Structure 1
Amino acid sequence: MKDARERWVRTGGVELCVAELGDPERPTVLLVHGYPDSKEVWSEVAERLADRFHVVLYDVRGHGRSTAPRPLRGGFTLEKLTDDFVAVIDAVSPDEPVHVVGHDWGSVQSWEFVTVKRTEGRIASFTSMSGPSLDHFGHWIKKRVSRPTPRKVGQLLGQGAKSWYVYMLHTPVLPELAWRGPLGKRWPRILQRVEKVPAGDYPTPSLPQDAAHGAWLYRDNIRARLRRPRADAYAHAPVQLITPSGDAFLSERLYDDLELWAPQLVRRTLPAKHWVPRTRPDQLAAWIGAFVTSNEDGMPAKDSVATGRYADRFGGQLVLVTGAGSGIGRATAFAFAEAGARVVAVDRDAESAARTAEMSRLIGAPEAWGETVDVADEQAMEKLAEKVAREYGVVDVLVNNAGIGLSGSFLDTSSEDWKKVLDVNLWGVIHGCRLFGGQMAERGQGGHIVNTASAAAYQPSKALPAYSTSKAAVLMLSECLRAELAGRGIGVSAICPGFVNTNITSTSRFVGVDAAEEQRRQKRTSRLYGLRNYPPEKVADAVLRAVVRNQAVVPVTPEARGAHLMSRFTPRALRAIARLEPPL
Structure 2
Amino acid sequence: MNWQGKTAFITGGVSGIGFGIARAFSNAGMRLALSYRNEEYKAAAAIWFADQEREAPLFLKLDVTDRKRFAEVAEEVEAHFGKVHVLVNNAGVSVFGPTDEATYDDFDWIMGVNFGGNVNGIVSFIPKIKAHGEGGHIVNVASMAAYISGPQAGIYTASKFAVRGMTECLRYNLAPYNIGVSLVCPGLTKTNAWDSALRRPDNFKDSGLGKVDKAELEKFGGAFDLGMDPLEVGEKILKGMTENRGLILTHPEHGPDIQEIYETTMAALPDEPAPEGRLEIERLRREGNKAAASGRKISLDDLT
Q: TM-score range by the shorter chain?
A: 0.7 to 0.9
Query: Pick from 230, 236, 244: which aligns with 1:550?
Result: 244
Q: How far apart are 1:373 and its partner, in Å?
A: 0.5
Q: What does residue 16 of structure 2 align with?
A: 327
How many angstroms apart in 1 are the aligned matches of 2:251 and 2:197? Answer: 20
**Could you tell me whether the CA contact under 8 Å between 2:143 and 2:187 is conserved in 1?**
yes
Aligned pair count?
A: 259
How many angstroms apart in 2 are the aligned matches of 1:521 and 1:511? Answer: 17
Q: How far apart are 1:554 and its partner, in Å?
A: 1.5
Write the letter of the residue equivalent to 1:549: E
**Could you tell me whether the CA contact under 8 Å between 2:7 and 2:83 is conserved in 1?**
yes
Aligned-partner SS, 1:407: coil
Aligned-partner SS, 1:344: strand
Q: How far apart are 1:351 and its partner, in Å?
A: 4.3
Write the letter of the residue equivalent to 2:242: V
How many angstroms apart in 2 are the aligned matches of 1:338 and 1:529? Answer: 25
| 1:444 has 2:139 as partner | no
Q: What does residue 384 of structure 1 align with?
A: 73
How many angstroms apart in 1 are the aligned matches of 2:14 and 2:112? Answer: 19
| 1:427 has 2:116 as partner | yes
Q: How far apart are 1:502 and its partner, in Å?
A: 0.6
Q: How far apart are 1:361 and its partner, in Å?
A: 4.7
How many angstroms apart in 2 are the aligned matches of 1:511 and 1:561? Answer: 34
**Could you tell me whether the CA contact under 8 Å between 1:339 and 1:365 is conserved in 2?**
no
Per the normalisation by structure 2, the TM-score is 0.79
Q: What does residue 497 of structure 1 align with?
A: 186
Q: What does residue 224 of structure 2 align with?
A: 529
Cα gap change, 1:565 to 1:347, in 2 (>3 Å): farther
Q: How far apart are 1:483 and its partner, in Å?
A: 0.5
Deviation per CA, 1:113-145: give whole Å up to 9, x if none: xxxxxxxxxxxxxxxxxxxxxxxxxxxxxxxxx
How many angstroms apart in 2 are the aligned matches of 1:451 and 1:335? Answer: 16
| 1:564 has 2:258 as partner | yes
**Could you tell me whether the CA contact under 8 Å between 1:340 and 1:366 is conserved in 2?**
no
Counting aligned pairs with the same residue, the percent is: 31
**Could you tell me whether the CA contact under 8 Å between 2:95 and 2:194 is conserved in 1?**
no
How many angstroms apart in 2 are the aligned matches of 1:542 and 1:405? Answer: 22
How many angstroms apart in 1 are the aligned matches of 2:86 and 2:117? Answer: 16
Write the letter of the residue equivalent to 1:513: G
Q: How far apart are 1:511 and its partner, in Å?
A: 5.4
How many angstroms apart in 2 are the aligned matches of 1:328 and 1:391? Answer: 24
Per the normalisation by structure 1, the TM-score is 0.42
For 1:100-499, list aligned pairs within 5 A.
271=1, 313-363=2-52, 365-499=54-188
How many angstroms apart in 2 are the aligned matches of 1:481 and 1:560? Answer: 25
| 1:513 has 2:207 as partner | no
Aligned-partner SS, 1:493: strand
**Could you tell me whether the CA contact under 8 Å between 2:95 and 2:196 is conserved in 1?**
no
| Unaligned residue ranges in structure 1 (runs of 5+) | 1-270, 272-312, 574-584
Q: How far apart are 1:375 and its partner, in Å?
A: 0.6
Q: How far apart are 1:380 and its partner, in Å?
A: 0.5
Write the letter of the residue equivalent to 1:421: I
Q: What does residue 540 of structure 1 align with?
A: 234
**Could you tell me whether the CA contact under 8 Å between 1:555 and 1:561 is conserved in 2?**
no
Cα gap change, 1:395 to 1:562, in 2 (>3 Å): farther
Q: How far apart are 1:572 and its partner, in Å?
A: 8.7
**Farther off after superposition, 319-328 or 345-354:** 345-354
Deviation per CA, 1:340-380: give whole Å up to 9, x if none: 11111111224423542442354364352211111110001
Q: How far apart are 1:399 and its partner, in Å?
A: 1.0
Cα gap change, 1:548 to 1:378, in 2 (>3 Å): same
Write the letter of the residue equivalent to 1:393: G
**Could you tell me whether the CA contact under 8 Å between 1:350 and 1:372 is conserved in 2?**
no
How many angstroms apart in 2 are the aligned matches of 1:366 and 1:416? Answer: 40
Report the RMSD for the aligned CA atoms in angstroms.
Answer: 2.0
**Could you tell me whether the CA contact under 8 Å between 2:5 and 2:30 is conserved in 1?**
yes
Q: What does residue 98 of structure 1 align with?
A: none
Write the letter of the residue equivalent to 1:540: G
Q: What does residue 140 of structure 1 align with?
A: none
Write the letter of the residue equivalent to 2:233: V
Q: How far apart are 1:571 and its partner, in Å?
A: 4.4
Write the letter of the residue equivalent to 1:397: V
**Could you tell me whether the CA contact under 8 Å between 1:418 and 1:466 is conserved in 2?**
yes
Q: How far apart are 1:420 and its partner, in Å?
A: 0.7
Higher Rg: 1
| Unaligned residue ranges in structure 2 (runs of 5+) | 199-206, 268-304
How many angstroms apart in 1 are the aligned matches of 2:53 and 2:155? Answer: 38
How many angstroms apart in 2 are the aligned matches of 1:346 and 1:566? Answer: 37
How many angstroms apart in 1 are the aligned matches of 2:175 and 2:113? Answer: 26
**Could you tell me whether the CA contact under 8 Å between 1:456 and 1:468 is conserved in 2?**
yes
**Could you tell me whether the CA contact under 8 Å between 2:94 and 2:195 is conserved in 1?**
no
More helix by share: 2
Aligned-partner SS, 2:115: helix
Q: How far apart are 1:533 and its partner, in Å?
A: 3.1
Write the letter of the residue equivalent to 1:418: F
Cα gap change, 1:359 to 1:525, in 2 (>3 Å): same
**Could you tell me whether the CA contact under 8 Å between 1:331 and 1:537 is conserved in 2?**
yes
Deviation per CA, 1:434-470: give whole Å up to 9, x if none: 2112211122211001110111111121211100000
**Could you tell me whether the CA contact under 8 Å between 1:497 and 1:560 is conserved in 2?**
no
Q: How far apart are 1:559 and its partner, in Å?
A: 3.1
